[in-house]
Structure 1
Amino acid sequence: MNKSIATMVMATSVLLGACNQEAKKAEDTKPVIGRSEIKIADGRMTPEALWAMGRIGGMNVSPDGQKVVYTVAYYSVPLNTSNREVFVMNADGSDNKQITHTPFSENEATWIKGGKKIAFLSGESGSSQLWEMNPDGTERRQLSNYDGDIEGFAFSPDEKKVLFISQVKTVPSTKDKYPDLDKATGIIVTDLMYKHWDEWVTTAPHPFIADFDGNKVGSPIDVLEGEPFESPMKPFGGIEQLAWNTTSDKVAYTCRKKTGKEYAISTNSDIYVYDLNTKQTVNISEGIMGYDTNPQYSPDGKYIAWQSMERDGYEADQNRLMVMNLETGEKTFASKDFDSNVDGFCWSADARSIYFTGVWHGESQVYKIDLNDGNKLTALTSGMYDYDSVNLLGENKLIAKRHSMSMGDEIYTIDLADNNKVTQLTTENKQIYDQLEMGKVEGRWMKTTDGKQMLTWVIYPPHFDPNKKYPTLLFCEGGPQSPVSQFWSYRWNFQIMAANDYIIVAPNRRGLPGFGMEWNEQISGDYGGQCMKDYFTAIDEMAKEPYVDNDRLGCVGASFGGFSVYWLAGHHDKRFKAFIAHDGIFNMEMQYLETEEMWFANWDMGGAYWEKNNPVAQRTFANSPHRFVDKWDTPILCIHGEKDYRILAGQGMAAFNAAVLRGVPAELLIYPDENHWVLKPQNGVLWQRTFFEWLDKWVKK
């Protein structure tokens, strides 16, 4: 090498090393966010208490079934940021220890090397890479050096390979077309799906496979090389949409092999199997026209199971469990006796059964399907809870997260050999719960206007006195087909509403799962119909109680719940004293053309508003809330995020403008940096403060 060039290279190397050290030093000075020792004065839930809670994430059982690794996310309101740490405990919950204390969020912790190491994702090196450490958190070591962020991973059963997810560029940028305009911000659009959830679509997640020699990850191959498709699928798909077979030579992956308009109008995804030896791919769900996701091979390698919806374009169709015999190709819908959705599942150790979680009558419980006994269905748990993320813990136990309207996620075991005994393993937020007085939660069955029975959850204030009268809120659920089960939310939290001395009425109105498919499907094409009558049933029935103040009723909701608020504002006949709508649909004609996932609008609205001979579509658009603004006479707060590409912020702005022009008291809380949710701590606290200030002003007065 030329001496001068060598000198330059050495100097550059030294300079880069110094820069990297400075960058690392800057990262090291970031504060480590952990458990908050918050003090609560009067036993009432506050926004600060909610944001001080640790949020349990993913968990993974060691190969010998003796230990569990899991993650917890902590948030800082003053710093307006979060951090995720790793914990390890014995399988009975004892010896629970936090093994990381860093400013780099550690994610997706899992056991490798026979339980001797824990693999995880960390941004410590400047990008999200794969790392390993000892079970006590020592000897952190970077395993990958991929040119990009790794978003999820799974080691092959023999651990000689690793499957991981990373984004690849699929849409040419303006700079690609006009290199001389490198500072131009304009985006040239030529087809649909140019935006999704909260991003302008320029990349797609792809599955990569790389060799692993125990020390480092080798050069990867892109399973979808040269293809513009997503696997896993945006916006929420992760590593659960991909799976290794038991012999480490095949990968099953979820993919909707469509782009542009074809992608925007269809939910038809499939399960593909990529053979590492032949480099060939086979579609194993071909002919099933709906939404196929989340494959899992059985422990004996003889079967593969996945979740499957039947009808293309209907994203809220019944999510059924499909089991395929890999030798014969026979496919069976194993969950045929469960008239609701299979929300998550795992195989038994002997591959004779499948355990899953599913909602029924406002509770998400754990069930067993016995594949050797005609797919016999058995409920394993009960009670006013929602179970989630069920997995095996040895041969005779299950491990799952559980929450309710009165407590956030904790980890539990279900002992299959001891009458399905449930044991709590973690107490992440005990220090906070011990200071809080929670309101009573009860379920009531109410007769609807068409003679059916509807479950409505009622949440009472702490220290409830039936001899007093309380302001009461009707809660309108989003989705629209999301269950009002025993959910715990850090925004739409019923206990914080109750702590502010409101009674909350939360009906499982028409169009929600857990009450049979007829109940769930009634809402499609009928947004302004029976579901709205169900809302009136719920609030009118509760208004008969002597402790409900009929002169102080409010109505709140988000997404479809926000649509419900806007619709009810024009039809409530002076029942309510104030409304709050978050990310709601105000003008359905604009929503039909503004939203990104057109399959949703087509199915739920029944078609386009210009289809004059389509009675379902015409009924839908005739019931758009903006058509009834002339009836608005009640104060309304509109909340929206400008990065919400599911329901654009213009919907909230238009509703606010309409109210002001009508002379109706109104307020707008707009977030330039939030999507369909509110994710930043200070924005979350602002949301709660604005929410209750509005209700206190117009409902309590």
Structure 2
Amino acid sequence: MKLKYLFGAALMATTLSVGQAEPGKHLSPELLLSMARLGDAALSPNGKTVVYALSQPSVKDNNSRSELYTVNIDGTARTQITATKSNEYAPQWIEGGARIAFMSNETGSMQLFSMRPDGSDKKQITDIEGGIEGFRFSPDGKQIAFVHQIKYGKTTKDLYPDLDKATGRVINQLMYKHWDEWVETIPHIFVASLGNEPIKQGKDILEGEPYEAPMKPHSGIEDFAWSPDSKSIAYASRKKEGLAYTLSTNSDIYLYDLASSKTRNLTEGMMGYDTHPTFSPDGRYIAWISMEHDGYESDLKRLFVQDLKTGAKSFLTDAFEYDVDAMEWRADNKGLYFLSCVKAEKNIFEVDVRTHKVRQITSGQHNYVSLQVESGQMLAGRQSMLVPTDLYQVNIKTGEAKAITQENATLLASLDGSPTVEKRWIKTTDGGNMLTWVVYPPHFDKSKQYPALLYCQGGPQSTISQYFSYRWNARLMAEQGYIVIMPNRHGVPSFGKKWNEQISGDYSGQNIQDYLVAVDTLKKEPFINPKAIGAVGASYGGYSVYYLAGHHEGRFSAFVAHAGIFNLEMQYMTTEEMWFANWDMGGAPWDKDNKTAQRTFANSPHKAVGAWDTPILITHGEKDFRIMAEQGQAAFNAAQMRGIPSQLLIYPDENHWILRPQNSLLWQRTFYGWLDKWLKK
């Protein structure tokens, strides 16, 4: 085991001038949910001014209000430019910086508006029935592309008009549900000319095609782009329906020509996800993120570039074994900036188009989550486990970063101390080295004993990086007096392909051993009470909790599972994205000759309920179509029938994530109430 370094107190020192710490005050669920949250931000074309959205949750009103602000790139002159009863989102600079475009729901649906940078002279640009979900102005300023939902398939009322009060759905094919919705609409990209506002309709560039662009459930405007000459639009789409759609991740990048209305596939023969098309400033090249394998949604995200004149493709990050996220072209067309998570820290990099050489620009124990470059200035969003997202001005040459916003500095400075984040490397049972974050409570005293929590990550291919979560918040856990153990077990990205791919087809294998070795290593420390350790997690982390409940050999005194997989066979046949189930489970339960699949289903957590002996809290949302709520109900029923202390918290109106403010606060209170009951005796 190697002790790398400590982090936390020094960062808090930078904010103490903002306010005075209050003795005994610690971060609570109520304070966490009161924090302001940064939304989209945009840097003006001259690189001098930033406009950004800032939302303020209200537990009392059970909603959140979003307004727009501007601030100079050096952090001065912060100004609120909207103050309405509606919500304003997604600001973009238009007309060379003379105006700001943004979305607002003030008319009852989300529409596009514009105003001057001081908030005056507001004008409505669209009046689309049903609203829009995203927009991009053409570079010449004469057109807009926007996302709008269109009807998909026939409803019961279409089939039987006389049954206008019938609520049943007649279903003939997959995928009839996705994430948290019944699929009755799909997003398409529309184009409209400016000059006669408000615009009430546009031209559907996928007219007659029953495909999504952007792709559900989480894609947005990052998946389409205007060419610099404003003559074409590149977009990502998975042009499949029914069973083929639910089995495949093979999307492509398409180029739509506005004059001819013709579309061509730029990535024909590339079999995985192809997303995030981005044109070079001169329009000659297009870059995008590409995965190699069909059906593997957690494949390595590779950066590709195509010469639109010759058609030649180039794999720019061929020597870089880490995911590429958001990217931005350099002004000279010779390289790109991008985000990548390496060893659980997400930083800014650049790659040279000709040499493929990658240079790391920033470093440190944090996550950069966005970037934009205008007139030589780089704007980036940054967060850590201890501090939510703020905006930074980044020196492209040195990587030095200066905070532009400190939206929650006063609240954080009022807290009595800060948790400390330690980076440890723990030897795994197969000889590997596992980065494990250990988060200590404020004013940690190694002469005392503390209860501890093993945090089991979901995904399953999802890194425990330096993210700040409003649900599973490491700082909040530590501020309640827990030492938090967060292992980046096998099966998470940012540690190379081999490490990431281990978990596919082996949910109960090496990664579970990684959890156990992390706990066994840390509980040897005299400051951890070995009789007061809990295991908590969501999604695959919830699966891990259910599995550990039957195989922990007395290591844990309490469990919390949210949206977890309890019965793998039931999960295979009830989830919506079947490519995910096929790849991660290895195949179908009826495929008796498939050794990988049969091993997976043989190790389903529900088969070890007979060994359960530890109190467990189970939470789930009934709108969760990824992992159905019946999984949580089955686990709770089993625990009850076994006489095990157990509790079920279930939401009829939440999906895989608990998002509404009062529901979130109920979840946090129930979560800590359960843990405190069993671990702080």
How far apart are residue 41 of structure 1 and its match? Answer: 7.0
1:484-495 matches, cutoff 5 A: 484-495=464-475
Structure 1 SS opposite 2:33: helix
> Does 1:684 pair with 2:636?
no
Q: Residue 320 of structure 2 corresponds to which residue in structure 1?
A: 338
Amino acid paired to 2:419 = G
SS at match of 2:297: coil
- CA separation in 2, counterparts of 1:580 and 1:387? 30
Which residue of 628, 633, 648 corresponds with 2:613?
A: 633
Q: Name the residue aligned to 1:312.
A: 294
Aligned to 2:265: 283
Give the match for residue 347 of structure 1.
329
How far, CA to CA, are the matches of 2:283 and 2:113 in structure 1?
29
Of the structure 1 ranges 384-393 and 671-680, higher mean CA displacement relative to structure 2 is found in 384-393
Q: Among 427, 432, 435, which residue is 2:411 paired with?
A: 432
Question: Aligned pair 1:421/2:422, yes or no?
Answer: no
Work out whether 1:613 is the aligned partner of 2:585: no
Please state whether the residue corresponding to 1:412 is helix, strand or coil: strand
1:35-68 alpha-carbon deviations (Å, 9 max, x no partner): xx99977320111111111110111111111111
Amino acid at match of 2:285: Y
Q: For 1:68, which of 50, 65, 68 is the aligned residue?
A: 50
- Amino acid paired to 2:294: D
1:216 Cα shift? 4.3
1:78 corresponds to: 60
Amino acid at match of 1:340: Y
SS at structure 1 position matched to 2:673: helix
* Contact kept? 1:133, 1:141, Cα under 8 Å: yes
Amino acid at match of 1:386: N
CA distance in 1, matches of 2:47, 2:432: 47
Deviations for 1:252-311, whole angstroms, at most 9, x for unmatched residues? Answer: 011000111110000000000100011100000111000001100001111000000000
**Does the CA-based 8 Å contact 2:575-2:626 persist in structure 1?**
yes
Give the gaps of 5 or more residues in structure 2: 1-18
Scaled by the length of structure 2, the TM-score of the pair is 0.96
> Paired residue for 1:510?
490
Residue 205, structure 1, aligned to residue 187, structure 2? yes
Q: Secondary structure at the match of 1:42?
A: coil
Residue from 350, 370, 379 that aligns with 2:360: 379
> Is the Cα contact below 8 Å between 2:487 and 2:518 reproduced in 1?
yes
Partner residue, 1:25: none
Q: After the TM superposition, list the runs of 4 or more consecutive aligned residues in structure 1 that deviate by more than 6 angstroms.
A: 37-41
Q: Where do residues 651-666 of structure 1 align in structure 2 (5 Å cutoff)?
A: 651-666=631-646
Q: 523, 545, 552: which one pairs with 2:532?
A: 552
| Contact persistence 2:489–2:514 (CA under 8 A) | yes
Asked if structure 2 preserves the Cα contact closer than 8 Å seen for 1:160 and 1:214, the reply is no
Cα drift, residue 384 of structure 1? 0.5
Query: Are the aligned partners of 1:210 and 1:218 in contact in 2 as well (CA < 8 Å)?
Result: no
Question: 138-147 or 163-172: which moved more?
Answer: 138-147
Q: What secondary structure does 2:339 align onto?
A: strand
Q: Note closer, same or farther for the CA distance 1:672–1:219 as it changes in structure 2 (3 Å cut).
A: closer
2:459 corresponds to = 479
How far off its partner does 1:118 sit?
Answer: 0.6
Distance 2:403 2:680 in 1: 39
Q: Distance in 2 between matches of 1:657 and 1:219?
A: 52
Residue 389 of structure 2 aligns to a residue whose secondary structure is: strand
Structure 1 runs not aligned, ≥5 long: 1-36
SS in 2 for 1:407: coil
- Equivalent residues of 2:46, 2:374 under 8 A apart: no
CA distance in 2, matches of 1:180, 1:216: 36
- Within 2, Cα distance between the matches of 1:50 and 1:593? 37
Matches within 5 A, 1:125-140: 125-140=107-122
Matched with 1:567 is: 547
Give the conservation status (yes or no) of the 8 Å contact 1:212–1:218.
no
Quick one: distance in 1 between partners of 2:405 and 2:574?
44
What SS does structure 1 have at the residue aligned with 2:469? coil
Give the conservation status (yes or no) of the 8 Å contact 2:505–2:583.
yes
Partner residue of 2:89 out of 102, 107, 110? 107
Residue of structure 1 aligned with 2:172, choices 179, 187, 190? 190
Offset at residue 144 of structure 1 (A): 1.3
Q: Are 1:211 and 1:219, in contact at CA under 8 Å, matched by a contact in 2?
A: no
Q: Which one-letter code corresponds to 1:103 in the other structure?
A: K
Separation in 2, partners of 1:564, 1:420: 38
What whole-Å deviation, never above 9, does each CA across 1:503-542 have from its counterpart, x for those lacking one?
0000000000011000000000000000000000111100
Quote the residue 2:4 is aligned against.
none
Q: Distance in 2 between the 1:115 and 1:424 partners?
A: 23
Match of 2:513 among 513, 527, 533: 533
Query: Which residue matches 1:15?
Result: none
Aligned AA for 2:431? Answer: G
2:403 aligned partner, one-letter code:
Q
Does residue 622 of structure 1 match 2:602? yes
Distance 1:129 1:688 in 2: 34
Give the letter aligned to residue 506 of structure 1: M
What CA deviation, in whole Å up to 9, does each residue of 1:670-698 have, x standing for no partner? Answer: 01110000110001111110001100111
Distance 1:675 1:218 in 2: 32
In the TM superposition, residue 595 of structure 1 has moved relative to its aligned partner by 0.2
Partner Cα distance (1:126, 1:488) in 2: 32
Cα deviations across residues 421-453 of structure 1 (Å, max 9, x unaligned)?
211110111111111222000100011001111
Instruction: Give CA-to-partner distance per residue, 1:92-129, whole Å, 9 cap, x none.
Output: 12111111111211111111111111111111112211
* CA deviation after TM superposition for structure 1 residue 218, in Å: 6.5
1:599 aligns with 2:586: no
User: Number of residue pairs matched?
Assistant: 662
Residue type at the aligned position of 1:375? H
Q: Is 1:325 matched with 2:307? A: yes
| Residue pair 1:474, 1:556 contacting (<8 A) in 2 also | yes
Please state whether the residue corresponding to 1:387 is helix, strand or coil.
Answer: strand
The sequence identity of aligned pairs, in percent, is 53
> Does structure 1 retain, via aligned residues, the 8 Å contact 2:505–2:585?
yes
Amino acid at match of 1:426: T
Cα distance between partner residues in 2 of 1:147 and 1:197: 24
Alignment partner, residue 450 of structure 2: 470
Mapped partners of 1:323, 1:266: distance in 2: 23
